[in-house]
Amino acid sequence: MERPKQLIGVIDEPGPARDALAETIARDGLSVVAVTDSGALPPEVALAVAHVRAVPAADWPALCENLPTLVVSDSRDAPDLLSAVDAGLVNYIVEPRRHGQLLRRMIRKAIRLRALEDDRRRDRLRLEELNETLETHLAMLRLDQQAGGQIQRRLLPSRPQTLGGVTCDYWFAPYLYLSGDFLDFHLLDERHVLFYFADVSGHGASSAFVTVLLKYLANRWQTEWDGRQPETLPARWLADLNRELLDTGIGKHATLFVGIIDLEQRYLHYSLGAQLPMPLLVAGGKVTPLAGEGMPVGLFPGAEYPTLGCSLPEDFHLWLCSDGVLECLPGDTLDSRLRELEQQIQASTTLADLRANMALDLALGDEALPDDLTILMLSGFGHADS
């Protein structure tokens, strides 16, 4: 199927010169309509070839705004040629009939450039529409995430709390609105304090949903507990959560620490799944990482988790930090940052001390945190009132 010929409008005074100009243009697949003034051009005209003698100087700006326009003149010294150039019509040719091939090339180039300009204009308008739609969707997503963040915070325990002589406090700063970090603490019964500390892989809504699942499962397991052998609960809970996460198939895993403090024996029963950094126990001015290791939760079917424990002195501080805290510490290696964390904790008595020593409040002023930042501190038994 042949492409339709493009219609070129010739604006010139009637006579043999206009007819010759139209004939020169009409070669090589171009159609021509000749008129006396621009107002007579049909709407399907793709380009105008206007002779300087046929267009008043005041009409050039409107003509070149409505159509791509090529100016022709019989002489380079024609006074009206400067008026056309001043209006923005820099494409002109002198003695067009002598340079017919050049004239037709200039016509085709001007048409192509105008087509490209029209395409860019349409693309720009389309892009503006898409950007507006995107901004609307982003605003809706932001509002949803802010609301989700408020709900997630409501799931956290009130702070600080003193439970049977053990004071529990924490600091929680999400990467954006929702966090993959989560913690909880409460009395399991009159003798035992339960607490757990989780760091779900990734950021955003999917990671936050896992923390909601963790909260639900922990409440359910506590309700189902028969009141016997509380020291076995941490390892059992990790194994159960491992199965639950694998069964969901969402591709999320977590590092987790679950602890139960026996208030009578002053003993900590715990289990862990790849917790990093390890909980740090401060007693007698000495910082000691808790012993043990375990696999991440939600990665390996049939994973088994250790049942561990340690005695708690009269005065102690137990610190748990998410791995995002390490991003706020100086050091080129993991070991150097872990040593720095131990030094900072040894120099801190309260959460406020540690936040000030690590300049964590300054980090909140950045455009985005390096990761979710969460710190849990438990102190007792001589620090219950601190």
Residues 164-216: tens digit of each pLDDT = 999 999 999 888 888 889 999 999 999 999 999 999 988 778 888 899 999 99
Q: Which of 264, 181, 195 is nearest to 234 (CA)?
A: 195
Pair of tokens at residue 304? 């088994």
User: Rounded mean pLDDT of 330-344?
Assistant: 94
pLDDT tens per residue across span 42-68: 988 888 888 888 888 888 888 888 888
- Tallying the residues shown for the chain, one arrives at 386
Confidence of residue 386 (pLDDT cuts 50, 70, 90): very low
User: Rounded mean pLDDT of 231-241?
Assistant: 95
**In this structure, how many other beta carbons lie within 10 angstroms of the beta carbon of residue 237?**
24
Confidence of residue 1 (pLDDT cuts 50, 70, 90): very low
**CB–CB of 57/17 below 8 Å?**
no
Query: Does pLDDT of 117 surpass 70?
Result: yes
Q: Three-state SS across 223-256?
A: HHCCCCCHHHHHHHHHHHHHHHHHHHCCCCCEEE
Could you give all domains of the chain from N- to C-terminal order, each with its CATH number? 6-121 (3.40.50.2300), 156-381 (3.60.40.10)
Cβ contacts of residue 332 below 8 Å, gap of 6+? none
Q: What is the pLDDT of residue 271?
A: 97
User: Rounded mean pLDDT of 302-310?
Assistant: 95
Q: What is the pLDDT of residue 384?
A: 43
Q: What is the pLDDT of residue 341?
A: 96
Judged by DSSP in three states, 318 sits in: strand
Q: What is the pLDDT of residue 342?
A: 95
How far, CA to CA in Å, does 221 sit from each of 130, 185, 241, 243, 250?
A: 48, 14, 10, 14, 22
Q: Order of strands, edge to edge, in the sheet holding 47-51?
A: 30-35, 6-11, 47-51, 69-73, 92-94
Judged by DSSP in three states, 55 sits in: coil
Higher-confidence position of 86 and 106: 106
DSSP string for 246-313: HHHTS---EEEEEEEEETTTTEEEEEEES-SSPPEEEETTEEEEPP---PPBTTSTT-----EEEE--
**CB–CB of 325/375 below 8 Å?**
yes
Higher-confidence position of 133 and 115: 133
Enter the pTM of the model.
0.72
**CB–CB of 170/352 below 8 Å?**
no
User: Rounded mean pLDDT of 153-157?
Assistant: 93
Question: What single DSSP character describes residue 12?
Answer: -
Confidence of residue 364 (pLDDT cuts 50, 70, 90): low
